[in-house]
Structure 1
Amino acid sequence: MTVSLNTPDPQLRVLTNPDITLSDIIKSLPKSCFRQNLFKAWSGVIINVLMVALGYMAIVNSPWFLLPVAWIFTGTALTGFFVIGHDAGHRSFAKHRWVNDLVGHVLMVPLIYPFHSWRISHNFHHAHTNKLGVDNAWRPFDVEEYVNLTPINRFVYKQIRGYFWWVGSIIHWANLHLNWNSFDEKDRGDVKCSITVVVVFAAISFPTLILTTGIWGFAKFWLVPWMVYHFWMSTFTIVHHTAVDIPFKPTKEWNAAEAQLVGSVHCDYPRWVEFLCHDINVHIPHHVSTAIPSYNLRIAHKSLKENWGEYVYERQFNWVLMKEIVEQCHLYDPERAYLSFEDHSSH
């Protein structure tokens, strides 16, 4: 489906049959979608480690004019680390919780991402996808909330909703995952453990890297690939649930089936990106059920298209898509899904 930029008020995407439940959608999927495969899971880890190693070899050996290519490849491969940790966080990587926790910590620690902090806040996103004022992933502010922001926060919101969307996940990471006091008491032990892991890793690896390679080495080998990783994190996550015709709903109007099936976006990226990032872009089945491992997402997506095709939203990653999002999808509007900053200023 393609949305025309010339359409001022696109038809909002909704569930036309309110009797459809999320359980109905899940039951329509073949059982093979939920089957864990240890060979596929661990071969994915091995391939990903090799791709990251290849990326760092390229960084070490590339002349200055090829460094951007090496950085982009390495940062994208590091995003694959996060996606495998993402499976582990949803307990779809392995049957044993301790294996999931170990894999999640090991693969996320180079990204300075506290595994349990992310796991808990991300599961909250899945429980409240596209719920206005509740969802913690790229939810739009309404006009009143936006106007009442401090000037600094209003400026930041405006930038990450515009052409600086690609730093949005850094703001999300810093705001949500590094303060254990923002989590429920029952979760703070796990959160403190994960934060300690990344702090110890950073305290050892960063000084070591700077002492052996200098500030430029720190930027070259960690900071720039990390920024590329966050470019993909920001891009994937904003595209997953943002479009001019996908509304966020107030709690009283929110419907789980509508939010997860109709409010999620499948986006096709260059195949090398999808390969390195383990098909995280095949996002609709993941929101229908987090129990589906990443290597089964394409099978599940095919099934969803066969059974629920009228609701499956597919886009292509390109400048037209990103321009639509960063120029129009700014503030919540109950009639149009979004109000742009420009439209808000003109009123």
Structure 2
Amino acid sequence: MAAVQPKDSAPPRTGHDQGRATADARYWMQILSNYRTPSRMRSIVELVITAVPLVALWTAAWFAFSLGHAWASLLIAIPAGGFLVRLFMIQHDCGHGTFFAGRQANDWVGRVLGVLTLTPYDWWRRAHAIHHATSGNLDRRGIGDIDTLTVREYQALSAFARLRYRLYRHPLVMFVAGPAYLFFLQHRLPFGFMRAGWSPWISTMATNLGIALVVAGLMWLIGIQAFLVVHLPIMLLAAMAGVWLFYVQHQFEHTVWERDGRWTQQQAALYGSSHYDLPAWLHWLTANIGIHHVHHLSSRIPYYRLPVVLRDHPELREIGRITLPESLRCVRLVLWDEAQSRLVSFRDARAARR
């Protein structure tokens, strides 16, 4: 697709200074509107080449277990978990109304996939829309994001509250225990929307019912032990990978957070979301979710068109770019320093106070 340049537009840049950065973000929104149209055939193919390998790998894991090779079943869980992540990303696109042109097709595919990903589709879609509408806003934290305190807020906490935040931010909690809790327990109730009417409850309970029927059917078919050995590792690995991806997309050193008066959605989208520059095969397996700055700026672009955006506009590659090795260092960044406009570690915050 050819690039479309609006007349009299400011040239793109890679910084995120207040004012000019917002103008740049709006410039890119106009450009990106040309990539929004989904292809029904491409979407169907993407769904098939994700679901079929997942079913095949799941079956292979069960077959290996039935032959007494549980170790092989666990090895197969690794790629199977990757395809389950990809299935979740298709559900994610459905939630944005981008996988198919029609809303009903998006919603019903999303609801069915929600049973497989243990994620109530309609409830999640609502929470995720809030995330997109408030990401990077220090005065509107709390729904659809990772809890992030400012240095000043953390220093004002009691000793017990600091310990609780440190535990929450510990890698074993954030990326191991946390994903298990999120997908197996928290998603079973519409947290955040408990008093928001019947819709979140219907979404959650209908998904729970679907999960119960699928689990009961598979346990009846292959046995309880086989199901647990085969499916639990796949689900846990997918949950851990999903939380890691979400974390890196916004928790990097030079992300953008602003107070309500200075915050703009466009600036936060382009400069507060990372370009997680992964190897090509990981980009494919994660449905290009690493091109997150473009996704946040124009969430109606189908994921399979995101690489086309970078191809047509290579200047977008360097905005918020993080490589795989660099992303590992993001784990220590846990507090927002308003004075320096960057995420810092507990050690950095302690040193700055001296």
Q: TM-score, length-normalised on structure 2?
A: 0.82
Q: What displacement does 1:258 show?
A: 1.9
SS at 2:276 equivalent: strand
- 2:260 maps to which of 233, 248, 251: 251
Residue among 303, 310, 313 paired with 1:294: 303
Match runs of 1:21-40 below 5 Å? 22-29=25-32, 31=34, 33-40=35-42
Q: C-alpha deviations, 1:189-220, integer Å up to 9, x for none?
A: 33222212221123323344445555532332
How many residues get paired? Answer: 328
Deviation of 1:173 after TM superposition, in Å, equals: 5.2
> For residues 173 and 42 of structure 1, what CA distance do their matches in structure 2 show?
26
**Structure 1: distance between partners of 2:103 and 2:90:** 14
Cα deviations across residues 120-176 of structure 1 (Å, max 9, x unaligned)?
A: 11011111111114243124112454454794x755642453322324445555787
Q: In the aligned structure 1, how far is the partner of 2:348 from the partner of 2:63?
A: 49
| Structure 1 residues 82-231: aligned runs within 5 Å | 82-135=88-141, 136-143=144-151, 145-146=153-154, 148=157, 151=160, 155=163, 157-164=165-172, 165-167=174-176, 168-170=178-180, 177-180=187-190, 182-183=192-193, 188-210=197-219, 213=222, 215-231=224-240
Match of 2:10 in 1: none
1-structure distance, mates of 2:53, 2:159: 43
- Aligned-residue Cα RMSD (Å) equals 2.9
* Paired AA for residue 190 in structure 1: S
In structure 1, stretches of 5+ residues that fail to align are: 1-11
Q: Would you say 1:341 and 2:346 are equivalent positions?
A: yes
Of stretches 278-287 and 168-177 in structure 1, the one that deviates more from structure 2 is 168-177
Cα deviations by residue, 1:15-65 (Å, 9 ceiling, x for unpaired):
36256064321112372x112100110111111111101211331233333
C-alpha separation in 1, matches of 2:191 and 2:74: 39
Distance in 1, Cα, partners of 2:182 & 2:159: 18
Task: Determine whether 1:332 maps to 2:336.
Answer: yes
User: Equivalent pairs: percent with the same residue?
Assistant: 23
Residue 60 of structure 1 corresponds to 62
Which structure has more relative contact order (CA 8 Å, sep 6+)? It is 1
Q: Report what 2:321 is aligned to.
A: 314
Contact 2:118 2:187 in 1 (8 A): no
Q: Is the 8 A contact 1:90 1:290 kept in 2?
A: yes
2:79 counterpart of 1:73: yes
SS in 1 for 2:17: coil
Q: Secondary structure at the match of 1:251?
A: coil
Give yes or no for contact 1:332–1:339 (8 Å, CA) kept in 2: yes
1:342 corresponds to which letter in structure 2?
A: R
Match of 1:6 in 2: none
**Aligned partner of 1:23: which letter?**
R
Cα distance between partner residues in 1 of 2:63 and 2:31? 50
Say which SS state the counterpart of residue 332 (structure 1) adopts: strand
User: What is the TM-score normalised by the length of structure 1?
Assistant: 0.83
Match of 1:238 in 2: 247
* Separation of aligned partners in 1, 2:221 and 2:159: 42
- Name 1:7's counterpart in structure 2: none
Q: Secondary structure at the match of 1:29?
A: helix
Contact 1:22 1:256 in 2 (8 A): no
Map Cα deviations across residues 255-312 of structure 1 (whole Å, 9 max, x no partner).
2232111111111334333223221222121111111001101112334434x56x61
Verify the 8 A CA contact 1:133 1:139 in the aligned structure 2: no
